Structure 1
Amino acid sequence: MSTYAIIETGGQQLRVEPGRFYNIRHFVSLKPNELEQNTKILIYRVLMIRQESNIKIGHPWLKGAIVKGRILHSCLEKKIRIYKMISKKKTRRKLGYRQKSTRFIVDSIFLNGKEI
């Protein structure tokens, strides 16, 4: 098996591997004007790391574990449609919006200062 980590960011938990990219709704620590291309990010909320057959689980997070990555670009997700209808009152309401997200790539996973 490959090396991966489970991180918590943007209100969700993700299984991340080095060299792959992921879409995140928002980064809590970054302001919208700081989300530029090639901005380096460090994620300290690492819940679990798996390396070969060794598994390290944090309570709630692993101490000394860091996931390093960089932002590729900001993008918009598919449109979400909200349709509300009250049948007896003959009321209909249709809303929709596109969620902003950020695509980032994971460069490396560190545990206690050593790259895994």
Structure 2
Amino acid sequence: MTYAIIEASGKQLWVEPGSFYDLNKIEADPGDSVFFERVLLINDLNEIHIGKPCIADAKIQATVLRHLRGKKVIVYKMRPKKGTRIKKGHRQELTRLVIKSINIGNKVIN
């Protein structure tokens, strides 16, 4: 099992080649390649590489599939006995990515 732990969009994600992930919106067009260089850990068939805090020569290559919006989150505030009610909704802008490869040095892991 090959996987990597990366830092992207203010979160740490466990990513595997060929898997799909939704991140906060990235300014890239669908079909573009995106590289993540903040790689914290890579596990390649039980050979583990750990960064301090990041692995220097590691990159994750991903392809942007599309931009979408997340589920609606409802925020409702009510002040009892005051007659004040506020209902707000929010939908986060997301980007769907597919991980193409994990690169460490000259070695490419698909």
Q: Which TM class, normalised by the smaller chain length?
A: over 0.9
Instruction: Return the letter of the residue paired with 2:24.
Output: R
User: In the alignment, is residue 22 of structure 1 matched against residue 21 of structure 2?
Assistant: yes
Unaligned runs of 5+ in 2: none
Q: CA RMSD in A?
A: 1.0
Instruction: Return the letter of the residue paired with 1:20.
Output: S
The aligned residue for residue 31 of structure 2 is 38
SS of the aligned residue for 2:71 comes to strand
Identical aligned residues as a percent: 40
Contact 2:25 2:67 in 1 (8 A): no
Unaligned runs of 5+ in 1: none
State how many pairs are aligned: 109
Measure the CA separation in 1 of the matches of 2:98 and 2:51: 23
What is the TM-score with the length of structure 1 in the denominator?
0.89
Measure the CA separation in 1 of the matches of 2:48 and 2:81: 56
Segments of 4+ moved more than 6 angstroms: none
What is the TM-score with the length of structure 2 in the denominator?
0.93
Measure the CA separation in 2 of the matches of 1:88 and 1:57: 56
Instruction: Return the letter of the residue paired with 1:39.
Output: D
Quote how far apart the aligned CAs of 1:97 are: 1.6
SS of the aligned residue for 1:78 comes to coil
Q: Tell me which of 84, 87, 90 is aligned to 2:80.
A: 87
The aligned residue for residue 12 of structure 2 is 13
Measure the CA separation in 2 of the matches of 1:106 and 1:59: 23
SS of the aligned residue for 1:92 comes to strand
